[in-house]
């Protein structure tokens, strides 16, 4: 019973802290896809970069606060894994939208297989693939950033991935594996 109460408290606390960051990522992503491309190219790219910086700040802040809270309260591996699934999902989706926005602003920002009449779902899927491959550090080379803004956003995606994974690994010695009784 006590274990169930701890789990409920963990999910309530995690969701309470994660929903504002998740909402921010979603709102900024929607703006970057549908609003930013209507601005002049330089202004649109600047807005995407500001959006990327804000999302990175809040994801890092969520990472620090939640990981420290989980380690301080429960030390359970399952809680850490849930947090990292949430963070990885937020990072991949966030950068998917950032890459898509850069493509919509400047179709030459990336070298890819998209055509000038590619649909929005095709564009988003292409950059979901690119975001996932970039996060995994595989980098097949079929989608390559060409513009300065695209290269910058890819470097920021890699830096955030590195930060989140290293920060988690650095605290691994404080995590206990859940054991059945």
Query: Could you read off the pLDDT of 123-163 as tens digits, one per residue?
Result: 999 999 999 999 998 888 899 999 999 999 999 999 999 88
Evaluate whether 77 touches 178 at the Cβ level (below 8 Å).
Answer: yes
Q: Smallest Cα–Cα separation from 149: which of 78, 63, 69, 48?
A: 48
Cα distance between residue 23 and residue 62, in whole Å: 13
Which residues face 76 on adjacent strands?
176
- The model's pTM is 0.85
159 to 29, 31, 42, 91: CA distances (angstroms): 19, 23, 24, 11
Which of 81, 62, 76 has the alpha carbon at shortest distance from 22? 62
Whether residue 92 has pLDDT greater than 60: yes
């Amino acid at each position: 019973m006590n274990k169930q109460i701890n789990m409920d408290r963990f999910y309530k606390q995690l969701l309470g802290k994660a929903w504002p960051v998740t909402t921010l990522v979603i709102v900024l992503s929607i703006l970057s896809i549908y609003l930013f491309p209507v601005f002049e190219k330089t202004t649109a790219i600047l807005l995407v970069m500001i959006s990327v910086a804000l999302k990175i700040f809040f994801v890092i802040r969520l990472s620090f606060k939640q990981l420290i809270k989980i380690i301080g309260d429960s030390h359970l591996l399952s809680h850490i894994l849930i947090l990292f699934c949430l963070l990885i999902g937020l990072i991949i989706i966030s950068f998917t939208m950032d890459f898509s926005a850069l493509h919509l602003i400047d179709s030459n920002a990336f070298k890819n297989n998209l055509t000038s009449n590619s649909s929005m779902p095709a564009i988003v899927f292409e950059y979901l693939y690119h975001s996932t491959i970039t996060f995994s550090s595989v980098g097949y080379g079929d989608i390559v950033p060409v513009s300065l803004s695209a290269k910058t956003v890819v470097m920021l995606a890699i830096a955030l991935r590195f930060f989140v994974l290293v920060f988690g690994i650095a605290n691994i010695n404080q995590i206990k594996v859940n054991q059945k009784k």
